[in-house]
A = this chain, B = another copy of it.
Amino acid sequence: MTAEPDRAVLGLDVGGTTTKALLVDVAGRVLVEDVRPTPAGPDPVGHLASELDRLRAVATGRGLTVVGAGVVTPGLIEESTGTVHYASNLGWRDLPLRSALQDRVAVPVTTGHDVRAAGLAERLLGAARGVDDVLLLTLGTGIAAALVSGGSEVTGGTGAAGEVGHAPVRPGGERCTCGQRGCLEVYASGAGVARRYAARTGVTRSAAEVVARLGADDDATAVWADATSALADALVTATLLLDPSVVVLGGGLARAGSALVDPVAEGLAAGLTWRAAPPVRLTPLGPAAGCLGAAAMAMAHAGLAGLLADWPAPQPRPSSSVVVTS
């Protein structure tokens, strides 16, 4: 490996609200991190292609050749073809994302699922380095999981594995936007925490603001206790089914830190009688985990997977240091 690599890859994580992009050289140094609103409108693929072209121009300006791009999205994705069958937060149905992007972008494009990409990043660089049986729970607006069993990703028969946000953790409980009652997301997603706090108090606060009020605001404390209890119950079931060696908590709610991980780990241990609980860890990768995974997918697609073992762990940064260029 050269000390000053002249090649790089792009990672793009298309979320319901923002699209994150990374330019990473093949030695794993993050050169550009970019967050902007996910484009709405009739030509989402055109916007994503433009973003990839823009980052390629930045790379060229630095004397780097881009050898591939990884693009990850939420929803039901057919991994073999790169078609997004359904992504409710993006309003996409049966979008042939990979082929449509490949038609417009001059570098090889690979596509995948955002949470599974985050799971890949955790195994490469994060809280599950070198672990073969992993459960990553991404706690954002919604909740989804990435599962790794014996070193292989669990994708499921239709590519829909990991959609644990709608698991009925509180049968007959509060109504979910999906039409069911008592889903995990109702209690433990960012949207769920904010909605339940507003329903109790009449005051609109984000989940982060609810967390900031813990201990000083009984409603915040109660809503958060319901969230961590529901998460612990979901993890009891997932641990009994899958027996992960480590549980990683990621997504926006992971910024709650010990206010999240301590009660969840305690509830998980309390719910398991005759077996030890796996350790529960916070992601060290922050909101860039999915995007880093996308970049790693691009490396593998370019035949450079062997270099990933030498990628350095990203340095923790306050989220305010992220360059928002929108």
- Interfacial residues, chain A to chain B (CB-CB below 8 A): 76, 86, 88, 131-133, 145, 147, 149-150, 152, 154-171, 178-180, 233-234, 236-238, 240-245, 271-275, 278
Contacts and interface: CB of A to CB of B under 8 A. Distances in A.
Number of this chain's copies in the assembly equals 2
Contacts of A242: 147, 154, 156, 161, 241
Q: Which of A147, A170, A171 has the most CB of B within 10 A?
A: A171
A241 B166 CA distance: 10
Given A152-B149, A243-B161, A236 B178 contact: no
B161 A241 contact: yes
A164 to B, nearest CB: 5
A274 B178 contact: yes
B160 A150 contact: no
A166 B240 contact: yes
A190 B132 CA distance: 35
Contacts of A272: 166
Contact of A154 (B150, B158, B165): B150
A324 to B, nearest CB: 32
A261 B86 CA distance: 29
Contacts of A86: 274
Contacts of A132: 157
B243 A241 contact: no
The 9 A-B residue pairs with the shortest CB-CB distance, nearest first, are A156-B243, A157-B245, A133-B157, A167-B237, A161-B243, A178-B273, A160-B243, A149-B154, A163-B240
A120 to B, nearest CB: 16
Contacts of A163: 240-241, 243, 275
A147 B275 CA distance: 19
Q: Which of A149, A163, A169 has the most CB of B within 10 A?
A: A149
23 contacts: A131-B157, A132-B157, A145-B241, A147-B242, A149-B149, A149-B154, A150-B155, A156-B243, A158-B245, A159-B243, A161-B242, A162-B241, A163-B243, A163-B275, A164-B240, A165-B240, A166-B240, A166-B273, A167-B236, A167-B237, A167-B241, A170-B171, A241-B241
B233 A274 contact: no
A152 B166 CA distance: 26
A133 B132 CA distance: 19
Contacts of A150: 152, 154-155
B149 A237 contact: no
A10 B169 CA distance: 43
A278 B161 CA distance: 13
Nearest to A156: B243
Nearest to A86: B274
A152 B133 CA distance: 13
B164 A237 contact: yes
